[in-house]
Amino acid sequence: MNHVEAMLQTKSWAVVGATDNTEKFGYKIFKALKEAGYNVYPVNPGINEILGDKCYPALKDLPIVPDVVNVVVPAKVGEQIMSNCSELGIKNVWLQPGANAASVVQLARNFDLNVVDQNCVLVELRNHK
């Protein structure tokens, strides 16, 4: 089974870079996962809540360790997130187009994380029924 399929079968996700700005992917991804029945936590230090859900400042602040971290942030932040995932024992990272800089992908691989870096979760969710 490929990483895309394996990750879509897990139920707890965090979206790093989630936002309450409805125009942005951070919002669309969080909303789509939520509507698809996933247990999804928004992570963004500048935002208090999205769609009525508490937004957490950092991965370490989540009440659970998610199965998958979906990343929608610039590379500089993404590199830090890979390090956080490794420290927290999170094995699956999904780097959205735009968040999948080579440096982030390489760091994730160095930490021995399972990486999806060429697929948009919005597209994959539509295909995954």
Is the pLDDT confidence value at 129 over 90?
Answer: no
* Residue 9 predicted with pLDDT over 80: yes
94: pLDDT strictly greater than 90: yes
Q: What's the total number of domains in the chain?
A: 1
**More confident position, 39 or 128:** 39
In sequence order, what are the residues at sequence separation of 6 or more whose Cβ sits closer than 8 angstroms to the Cβ of residue 70? 13, 14, 15, 16, 29, 33, 93, 94, 96, 121
**Residue 16 — very low, low, confident or very high, per pLDDT cuts 50/70/90?**
very high
Question: Cα–Cα distance between 109 and 45 in angstroms, integer?
Answer: 26
Model confidence, pTM: 0.97
CATH of the domain at 101: 3.40.50.720
Q: How far is CA 71 from CA 29, 54, 129, in A?
A: 10, 18, 22
| Domain ranges, residue 9 | 3-127
Residue with token string 């963004």: 44
